[in-house]
């Protein structure tokens, strides 16, 4: 960012970092949001981590807190420790690898929110796996190769789709999705046993004889573009085998699961109501239009869990016939930072193109969007670009 | 929410830069925005998207520069999953040149170093031509620049040359520091090609690819996709990025091993090609009319403190001789690469098609090696040791020395190489 705009930043930690000589980058979505914007979504209800809140997220970056200066110091100190440790571990890479597997096994029994387990998982996510083999257009040497945009754990780029033609999604909020899916699955099984219609959390999954949007086993699988995995653990096991070509130990998978679970759910950052009132009003109209056009029938803005947790993921967790094939309703949270769009990235950087590429069960909503006026289409786009990952003070690339 | 709004903000022209309408800071910001920008079809992206490039056209295969330059921080290297497949048939990866994205730090310095070396070689040739003319007989000279030998050259009184004894440089004697095979001499040339092959975004210039109308060569209906001024901003941006540093361990035992590692690096013969440092005399990079940048002192922090007082030049710890070397059959591409050069490097000389043999690569600068795994031109080496083991050809002897090292020495070498890194940077995103 240009030097002159550094002074304009109101967050002391940022200016502080600049003084330290570190480069400060704003998110790709523009200027640093004000703290009031960050609190637009009630953090207590919706953005808190499903497995224990902010505390567990320490090593995923540092959440912007009341003390950003301390946060800046902390991430710099962590970076220095990482640098020093890399030297120590280089003394004997094979022993290091063996020690890591052992350590993962030892920590595996701990809570998923355990800071040491999360920290180990983060390293396993970022560091190259020694056994990873080079097969052109098939995979990579580490998880973060394809999950990095807007910070570690984010989505991949167009190039990362590779020969599978599956665009790597962001993993932010995965724990919350897993929890919601498990709760709905449990609910559906109960309803089937009691011969009730399969409606859970307001979402219609058909009947026991004709389930709709869910596999016959009534297990909701929120991960994978087509709804392949019910849990983070399953996804990690398959992806490490298919994409890294390595076999991960149960302890390592547990650590990776803990790290992925620690990633914050995305948030909403609408235009500032005071300074950009016109745009804010368009954002509000966008929310209404999203419902009226029919987008919200599948991209359900929120699911309220039994304990009152609100999952603002903009998905119904159902599979739908989209014309060419069956896909899970993609969660739209964080979508602003997840180009290219759609399961194979075919919509490139255009949300408009992504909406217009909808077919099958979404044909009616897509047509409604196509035939509405330019103003309304713009409103909907404005809503979508407000759905962003949660920003943190962090060391770039880690 | 006009989708073209942001793109319109990024447009600027060289004549505006020449008239000093934009400050360097503003131009840097513009380049930064372009680096992170996801290009859209309305901005000339495309047509289409091809993960494996098509011969002479390219992909497109990415939405933004940042997509493939992110490892270890912004402007870093790319992962295996972001390897580019150049000059292929549009579908089969085996038909293409597979390349791992390198980091793009310190490139302004590399351009200046290469330019000074090219100038030294051109001077030597000019002197030889004068000598040949006055003596009416061919003159053979040894070619050296910044202590690096480029073999020898024989020039005849008529100005023609015999370049059979040249080493590691084309017959135009232009040192080309960019690309894994050393295919481009200037950032502008290299970045222009990058926009073409990765985004399908091109200049409205005759040399742009395609047979469409002059203002829309690729015929995608989007005219004037990028301006000279925008490219100037990007060149300035890249030239002013942070510069890698040597950041040794703090622990005293590790620090001793680091020192020993540097000795091993030199004794084993690594430093024969990965020359520890090259002296830079003139750090002023000319970008366009009215726009220059001092590649040592100007630009973003963090950057090492350079000793600019030395009249012999400022040592740049690049760990490359900026020369091409044969690396053996195991590392070779399936076929040679061809680049366009200007005959004899003359300003108005005819264009020539120059071959770079399949097994020949530029000595990869090792600065910031710590953040750039997986290693080698196609990322085939997941570890530093594996990368060294894969060296062949001219590096055969050094590799054999490495093989014979004790495990202590190998560990010291790894520790030295891991110190070639960059400062951690704080970001808010």
Determine the residue among A1, A96, A158 to mutate to test chain B binding: the one whose Cβ has the most chain B Cβ atoms within 10 Å.
Answer: A158
Among A4, A90, A159, beta carbon nearest to B68: A159
Say yes or no: B414 contacts chain A, CB-CB below 8 A: yes
Rounded to the nearest integer, the mean pLDDT of chain A is 85
Q: How far is A187 from chain B (nearest CA, A)?
A: 37
How many percent of chain A have pLDDT more than 90?
76
Please indicate whether, in this complex, the C-beta atoms of A22 and B425 are within 8 angstroms of each other: yes
Task: State pLDDT tens for residues A344-382.
Answer: 999 999 999 999 999 999 999 999 999 999 999 999 999
Closest CA in chain B for residue A22? B425
pLDDT at site A69: 79
Q: Which chain A residues touch B407 with a CB distance below 8 Å?
A: 92
Burial B341-373 (b: 16+ CB within 10 A, else e): bbebbeeeeeeeebebebbbbbbbbbbbbbbbb
* Contacts of range A65-69, beta carbons closer than 8 Å, 24 or more positions apart: A68/A11, A68/A12, A68/A13, A68/A14, A68/A16, A68/A393, A69/A12, A69/A13, A69/A16
Asked if B283 and B294 touch (Cβ cutoff 8 Å), the reply is: yes
Q: How far is A340 from chain B (nearest CA, A)?
A: 7
Asked if B354 and B163 touch (Cβ cutoff 8 Å), the reply is: no
pLDDT at site A131: 83
Say yes or no: B83 contacts chain A, CB-CB below 8 A: yes
pLDDT of A19 strictly over 70 = no
Rounded to two decimals, the ipTM of the complex is 0.92
Q: In this structure, what DSSP letter does residue B105 have?
A: T
R_g (Cα) of chain B, nearest Å: 22
User: DSSP secondary structure string, B174-232?
Assistant: ----BTTTT-BSSHHHHHHHHIIIII----SSTTSSSSS-TT-TT-SS--S-S-HHHHH
Say yes or no: A1 contacts chain B, CB-CB below 8 A: yes
Q: In this structure, what DSSP letter does residue B316 have?
A: E
Cα B154 to chain centroid distance, Å, stands at 29
CA distance A161 to A158: 6
pTM of the model: 0.90
Q: How far is A178 from chain B (nearest CA, A)?
A: 25
B429 band by pLDDT with thresholds 50, 70 and 90: confident
CA distance B222 to B27: 24
Greater pLDDT, B48 or B391: B391
pLDDT of B8 strictly over 70 = no
Strands (DSSP E) found in B104-188: 139-145, 148-155, 161-162
Q: Which chain B residues touch A32 with a CB distance below 8 Å?
A: 428
Greater pLDDT, A375 or B345: A375
Asked if A358 and A366 touch (Cβ cutoff 8 Å), the reply is: yes
CA distance B99 to B62: 14
Task: State pLDDT tens for residues A169-225.
Answer: 999 999 999 999 999 999 999 999 999 999 999 999 999 999 999 999 999 999 999
Those of residues 293-322 in A touching chain B at CB distance below 8 A are none
Say yes or no: B49 contacts chain A, CB-CB below 8 A: yes
Please indicate whether, in this complex, the C-beta atoms of B93 and A79 are within 8 angstroms of each other: no
Q: In this structure, what DSSP letter does residue B71 have?
A: B
CA distance A145 to A152: 9
Task: State pLDDT tens for residues A137-166.
Answer: 999 999 999 999 999 999 999 999 988 889
Find, among B189, B170, B190, the residue nearest to B180 by Cα.
B190
Task: Find out whether the peptide bond into B60 is cis, omega within 30 degrees of 0.
Answer: yes
Among B40, B61, B302, beta carbon nearest to A349: B40
Closest CA in chain A for residue B27? A2
Q: Which chain A residues touch B426 with a CB distance below 8 Å?
A: 14, 17, 20, 22-24, 72, 75-76, 393-396
Asked if B371 and B71 touch (Cβ cutoff 8 Å), the reply is: yes
Task: State pLDDT tens for residues B266-286.
Answer: 999 999 999 999 999 999 999
Q: In this structure, what DSSP letter does residue A249 have?
A: P
Rounded to the nearest integer, the mean pLDDT of chain B is 92
Say yes or no: A7 contacts chain B, CB-CB below 8 A: no
pLDDT of A66 strictly over 80 = no
Say yes or no: B36 contacts chain A, CB-CB below 8 A: yes
pLDDT at site A211: 96
Find, among A226, A221, A192, A222, the residue nearest to A207 by Cα.
A192
Q: Which chain A residues touch B94 with a CB distance below 8 Å?
A: 136
Task: State pLDDT tens for residues B180-221.
Answer: 999 999 999 999 999 989 999 887 565 566 666 666 767 777
Q: What is Dmax (Cα atoms) for chain B?
A: 72
Greater pLDDT, B241 or A133: B241
Q: Which residue has the tokens 């001793």?
A: B256
R_g (Cα) of chain A, nearest Å: 21
Say yes or no: A159 contacts chain B, CB-CB below 8 A: yes
pLDDT at site B206: 52
What's the burial of A309, exposed, middle or buried (CB within 10 Å: 0-12/13-18/19+)? middle
Those of residues 286-325 in B touching chain A at CB distance below 8 A are 300-302
Q: What is the rounded (10 degree) CA torsion for B284, B287, B293, B299?
A: -130
Ranges of H-type helices in chain A: 3-6, 12-20, 35-38, 68-90, 93-107, 115-126, 174-193, 232-242, 250-261, 277-292, 351-356, 363-371, 374-385
pLDDT at site A132: 84
Q: Which chain B residues touch A149 with a CB distance below 8 Å?
A: 67, 70
Closest CA in chain B for residue A161? B81
Secondary structure (3-state) at B364: coil
Asked if A294 and A368 touch (Cβ cutoff 8 Å), the reply is: yes
């Amino acid at each position: 960012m240009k030097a002159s705009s550094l002074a304009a930043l109101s967050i002391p930690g940022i200016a502080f970092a600049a003084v330290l000589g570190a480069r400060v980058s704003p998110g790709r979505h523009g200027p640093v949001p004000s703290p009031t914007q960050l609190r637009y979504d009630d953090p207590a209800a919706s953005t808190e981590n499903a497995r224990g809140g902010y505390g567990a997220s320490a090593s995923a970056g540092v959440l912007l807190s009341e003390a950003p200066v301390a946060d800046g110091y902390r991430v710099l100190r962590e970076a220095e420790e990482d640098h020093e440790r890399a030297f120590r571990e280089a003394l004997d890479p094979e022993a290091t690898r063996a020690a890591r597997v052992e350590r993962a096994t030892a920590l595996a029994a701990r809570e998923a929110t355990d800071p040491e387990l999360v920290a180990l998982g983060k390293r396993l996510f970022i560091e190259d796996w020694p056994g990873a083999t080079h097969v052109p257009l098939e995979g990579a040497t580490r998880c973060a190769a394809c999950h990095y945009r807007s910070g570690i754990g984010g989505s991949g780029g167009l190039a990362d789709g590779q020969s599978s033609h599956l665009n790597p999604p962001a993993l932010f909020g995965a724990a919350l999705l897993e929890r919601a899916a498990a709760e709905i699955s449990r609910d559906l099984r109960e309803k089937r046993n009691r011969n009730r219609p399969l409606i859970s959390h307001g979402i219609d999954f058909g009947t026991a004889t004709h389930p709709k949007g869910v596999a016959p086993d009534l297990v909701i699988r929120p991960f994978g573009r087509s709804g392949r995995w019910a849990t983070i653990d399953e996804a990690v096991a398959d992806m490490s085998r298919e994409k890294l070509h390595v076999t991960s130990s149960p302890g390592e998978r547990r650590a990776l699961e803990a790290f992925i679970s620690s990633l914050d759910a995305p948030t909403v950052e609408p235009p500032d109501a005071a300074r950009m009132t016109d745009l804010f009003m368009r954002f509000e109209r966008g929310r209404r239009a999203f419902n009226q056009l029919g987008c919200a029938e599948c991209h359900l803005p929120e699911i309220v869990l039994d304990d009152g947790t609100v999952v603002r993921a903009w998905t119904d967790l159902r599979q739908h016939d989209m014309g060419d094939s069956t896909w899970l309703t993609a969660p739209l949270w964080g979508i602003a930072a997840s180009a290219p769009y759609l399961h194979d990235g075919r919509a490139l950087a255009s949300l408009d193109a992504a909406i217009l590429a909808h077919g099958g069960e979404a044909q009616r909503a897509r047509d409604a969007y196509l035939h509405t006026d330019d103003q309304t289409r713009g409103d909907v786009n404005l809503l979508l670009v407000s759905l962003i990952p949660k920003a943190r003070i962090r060391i770039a690339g880690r | 929410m006009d989708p073209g709004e942001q793109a319109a903000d990024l447009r600027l022209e060289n004549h505006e830069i020449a008239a000093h309408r934009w400050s360097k800071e503003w131009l840097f910001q513009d380049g930064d925005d372009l680096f992170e920008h996801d290009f859209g079809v309305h901005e000339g992206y495309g047509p289409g998207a091809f993960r494996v490039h098509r011969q002479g056209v390219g992909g497109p295969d990415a939405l933004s520069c940042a997509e493939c330059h992110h490892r270890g921080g912004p402007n870093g290297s790319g992962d295996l999953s972001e390897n580019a497949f150049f000059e292929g048939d549009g579908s089969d990866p085996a038909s293409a040149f597979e390349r791992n994205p390198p980091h793009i730090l310190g490139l302004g310095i590399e351009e200046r170093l290469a330019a000074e070396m090219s100038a030294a070689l051109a001077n030597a040739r000019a002197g030889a031509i004068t000598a040949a003319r006055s003596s009416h007989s061919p003159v053979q000279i040894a070619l050296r620049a910044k202590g690096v030998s480029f073999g020898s050259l024989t020039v005849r009184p008529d100005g023609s040359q015999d370049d059979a004894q040249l080493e590691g440089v084309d017959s135009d004697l232009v040192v080309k520091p960019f690309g894994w095979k050393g295919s481009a001499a200037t950032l502008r040339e290299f970045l222009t090609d990058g926009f073409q092959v990765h985004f399908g975004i091109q200049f409205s210039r005759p040399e742009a690819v395609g047979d469409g109308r002059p203002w829309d060569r690729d015929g995608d209906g989007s005219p004037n996709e990028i301006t000279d001024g925008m490219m100037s901003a990007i060149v300035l941006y890249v030239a002013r990025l942070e510069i890698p540093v040597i950041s040794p361990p703090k622990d005293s035992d590790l620090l001793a091993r680091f020192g020993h590692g540097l000795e091993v690096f030199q004794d084993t013969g690594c430093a024969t090609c990965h020359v520890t440092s090259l002296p830079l005399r003139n750090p002023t990079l000319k970008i366009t009319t009215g726009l220059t940048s001092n590649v040592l002192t100007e630009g973003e922090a963090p950057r090492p403190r350079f000793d600019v007082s030395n009249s012999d030049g400022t040592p740049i710890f690049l760990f490359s001789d900026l020369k091409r070397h044969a690396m053996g059959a195991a590392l070779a591409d399936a076929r040679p690469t061809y680049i366009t050069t200007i005959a004899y490097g003359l300003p108005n000389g005819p264009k020539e098609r120059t071959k770079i043999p399949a097994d020949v690569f530029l000595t990869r600068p090792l600065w910031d090696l710590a953040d750039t795994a997986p290693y080698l031109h196609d990322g085939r080496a997941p570890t530093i040791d594996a990368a060294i083991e894969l060296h062949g050809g001219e590096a055969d002897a050094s590799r054999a020395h490495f093989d014979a090292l004790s495990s202590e020495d190998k560990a010291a070498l790894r520790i030295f190489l891991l110190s070639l890194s960059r400062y951690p940077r704080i970001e808010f995103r």
